[in-house]
Structure 1
Amino acid sequence: MKSSQRDDWLRAIDEELLAHKENNTWTSVERSGQRTLTTKWVFNIKRDENNQGKRFKARLCARGFSQIKDIDYQEIFSPTTRYDSIRIILSIAARYDLEIQQFDVKTAFLNGNLDEDIFIEIPEGSYVT
């Protein structure tokens, strides 16, 4: 936060926290001895396709590597697409001269539902309501 771009990074953090709030990702609770995961901010600068405009992006990432199977979680699931599926779709589109559009849902990961209660600590210096 000693960067000359401090204000840009703070806006990115605010945007990320607002997305969590709008998606009801968590509920603030008082610590009462439960296991918690630490978190950290991951920062990135996104540029447009012409490498012109800049967008400052901040993501709050849980340090899930400290979780213990059967205590913090029961199974692992990552919704990804197999390359075979993508190749088939591209082949069908090419065969029938179809157009394909790709898009990214900025906060898709915030819409997942967990079966377990996970407690996280917000990084020092972060303000969450």
Structure 2
Amino acid sequence: MVKPKSIDEALEHVDWITTMQGELANFDRNEVWTLIPPPQDHPIVGTRWVFQNKLIDVVIFIRNKARLVAKGCTHIEGLDCDKTFAHVSHLEAIIIFLSYADHIVYQMGVKIDFLNGELDTEVYLKQPPIFVNLSYPNY
């Protein structure tokens, strides 16, 4: 399946919708966020979807990957933030995986990963496009 260039293109295919719902289900299961009323004294960071096809070589399709990310252009370095973070996996999870592997591992894909660090400031995100909670649309 072709990687969509926008959320509108992704919503035309059931596979991409299921993938996005899976990403949000992982957020709920891992208690990544809580819906709250927007604070007046903090900036609110927008979110967007990033789509990717996972492939082996160039030909063999494995699965679709949808990741909800914060829009980085919202913050000004040095004013609103002084660090950026990349998604990482917990070292314990990798050690457990390698202990069960019966073969040499050359490459490993991780389905879900979250920031593995403590933030010293509160971060407020908008709800993901299209997946807004209808009971609390402005939260």
Which residue among 116, 120, 123 is the counterpart of 1:118?
123
**In proportion to residue count, which structure has more strand?**
2
Q: Which residue of 2 aligns with 1:84?
A: none
Q: Deviations over 1:105-126 (max 9, x none)?
A: 3322344432211001123321
Cα distance change on mapping 1:112 and 1:12 into 2, 3 Å: farther
**In proportion to residue count, which structure has more helix?**
1
Cα distance change on mapping 1:113 and 1:23 into 2, 3 Å: farther
Could you tell me how far apart the structure 1 residues matched to 2:15 and 2:82 are?
Answer: 39
Question: Structure 1-normalised TM-score?
Answer: 0.66
Q: Which residue of 2 aligns with 1:24?
A: 31
* Identical columns (%): 29
Greater length-normalized contact order (CA 8 Å, ≥ 6 residues apart): 1
Structure of greater Rg? 1
Q: Which residue of 2 aligns with 1:72?
A: 80
Structure 1: gaps (5+ residues)? 81-98
Where in structure 1 do 4 or more consecutive aligned residues deviate above 6 Å? none
CA RMSD of aligned residues (A): 3.0
Q: Which residue of 1 aligns with 2:13?
A: 6
Q: Which residue of 1 aligns with 2:22?
A: 15
Structure 2: gaps (5+ residues)? 1-7, 89-103
Cα distance change on mapping 1:3 and 1:107 into 2, 3 Å: closer
Could you tell me how far apart the structure 2 residues matched to 1:75 and 1:110 are?
Answer: 13
Question: Structure 2-normalised TM-score?
Answer: 0.62
Cα distance change on mapping 1:115 and 1:107 into 2, 3 Å: farther
Aligned residues: 111
What does residue range 68-107 of structure 1 map to in structure 2 within 5 Å? 68-69=76-77, 71-76=79-84, 99=104, 101-107=106-112
